[in-house]
């Protein structure tokens, strides 16, 4: 956006733009500490220590740091090893798999377009995820799954192959499976059924409706809700949250993405979890402390820490 005012005072425009990019204020602290079940500290501003301290100051005392490619997964494992209140999840994001195989410019990696590596390159990347998944500080394998929003038909086979491999890795190491599901509900559920889901499976940034929530509940899958549950156009998520069993509900930021209202569009971080927790409590018709107690216990159970 241009810094010039579209009419009116130029100073006002500068202040408006600054506010849009500014970190939201600290929310009122939670009385019952909770965990951010899915965040990307490596994509956020400031140091890890600063982010963790800010989160802890409002009652977010644990985070799950999630890798999206090989380098990010290594970083997640290293960061979790260095901080007792950080747990790692490692994986190739669904959009990373076709990027590795085909050199897909619409893949996840922030390293720019690559030359196609073929199936051998995907096998090599998966082998490194497998190695990392064995580490004790790594509590989850993910985010993996299917994403048909960004990847076209040519990338679907690579995504599904990668997803199936991650399921096998999670089961073999006894780790939670963290699922990224975008515009692919039926196929994600199909692959989980065909492969046999791990004992602990988490739908990160749950994006289905109430009917799918009931399917997930019957299967014992955890459903993690992010800041988008507060968006005006997300009634389907609120409907799903309302019917999800309390013992299967988690909260996350997916920071720096999906900042909850009223701060949508500004940088997200784990310290904003209380905003989402309070919105979730309102949807479920429960009090904040009861929900926070459940969220803390559920996240520990889901990730086995």
Question: Any bridge partners for residue 141, and if so which?
Answer: 90, 177
* Model pLDDT for residues 216-230, shown as the tens digit of each residue: 999 999 999 999 999
Q: How many CB atoms lie within 10 A of CB 170?
A: 26
- Average pLDDT value for the chain: 91
Q: Quick one: what percent of the chain has pLDDT higher than 70?
A: 90
Select the more confidently predicted residue: 4 or 1: 1
pLDDT at 115: 56
Taking only the tens place, the pLDDT of each residue in 251-265 is 999 999 999 999 999
- The pLDDT tens digits of the residues spanning 98-133 come to 999 988 545 444 444 455 678 899 999 999 999 999
User: For residue 209, what pLDDT is reported?
Assistant: 98
- Look at the pTM and tell me if it is higher than 0.85: yes
Average the pLDDT over 32-59 and give the result.
Answer: 98
pLDDT, tens digit, for every residue of 16-41?
A: 445 778 999 999 999 999 999 999 99
Residue environment code for 224-256, b if the CB has 16+ CB neighbours within 10 A, otherwise e: bbbbbbbeeebebbbbbbeebbeebbbbbbbbb
The DSSP string of the chain is --SS-SSS-HHHHHHHHHHHHSPPPPPPPPSS-EEEEEE-GGGSSS-HHHHHHHHHTTTEEEEEEE-SSHHHHHHHHHHHHH-TTEEEEE---TTHHHHHHH--TTSS-TT------HHHHHHHHHHHHHHHHTSTTEEEEEEEEEETTT--HHHHHHHHHHHHHHHHHHHHHT-EEEEEEES-HHHHHHHHHHH---SSEEETT----HHHHHHHHHHT-EEEE-GGGGSTT-HHHHHHHHHS-GGGEEE---TTS-PPTTSTTSPP-GGGHHHHHHHHHHHHT--HHHHHHHHHHHHHHHHT-
Looking at domain 42-303, its CATH architecture is Alpha-Beta Barrel (3.20)
């Amino acid at each position: 956006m241009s810094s010039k005012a579209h009419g009116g005072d130029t100073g006002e425009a500068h202040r408006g733009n600054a506010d849009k990019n500014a970190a939201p204020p600290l929310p009122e602290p939670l009385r019952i500490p909770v965990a951010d079940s899915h965040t990307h500290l490596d994509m956020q501003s400031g140091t890890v220590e600063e982010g963790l301290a800010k989160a802890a100051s409002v009652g977010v005392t644990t985070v799950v740091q999630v890798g999206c490619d090989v380098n990010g997964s290594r970083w997640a494992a290293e960061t979790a090893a260095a901080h007792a209140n950080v747990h790692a999840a490692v994986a190739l994001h669904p959009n990373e798999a076709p990027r590795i195989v085909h050199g897909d410019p619409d893949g996840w990696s922030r390293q720019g377009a690559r030359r196609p590596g073929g199936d051998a390159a995907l096998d090599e990347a998966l082998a490194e995820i497998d190695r990392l998944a064995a580490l004790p500080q790594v509590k989850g394998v993910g985010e993996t799954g299917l994403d048909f929003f960004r990847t076209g038909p040519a990338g679907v086979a690579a995504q599904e192959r990668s997803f199936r491999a991650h399921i096998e890795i999670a089961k073999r190491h006894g780790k939670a499976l963290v699922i990224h599901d975008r515009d692919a509900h039926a196929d994600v559920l199909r692959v989980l059924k065909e492969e046999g889901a791990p004992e602990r499976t988490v739908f990160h940034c749950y994006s289905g409706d109430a009917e799918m929530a009931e399917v997930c509940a019957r299967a014992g899958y955890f459903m993690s809700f992010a800041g988008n549950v507060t968006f005006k156009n997300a009634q389907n998520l609120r409907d799903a949250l309302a019917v999800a069993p309390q013992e299967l509900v988690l909260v996350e930021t997916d920071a720096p993405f999906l900042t909850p209202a009223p701060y949508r569009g500004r940088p997200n971080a784990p310290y904003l979890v209380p905003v989402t927790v309070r919105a979730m409590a309102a949807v479920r018709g429960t009090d904040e402390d009861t929900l926070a107690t459940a969220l803390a216990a559920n996240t520990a159970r889901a990730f086995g820490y």
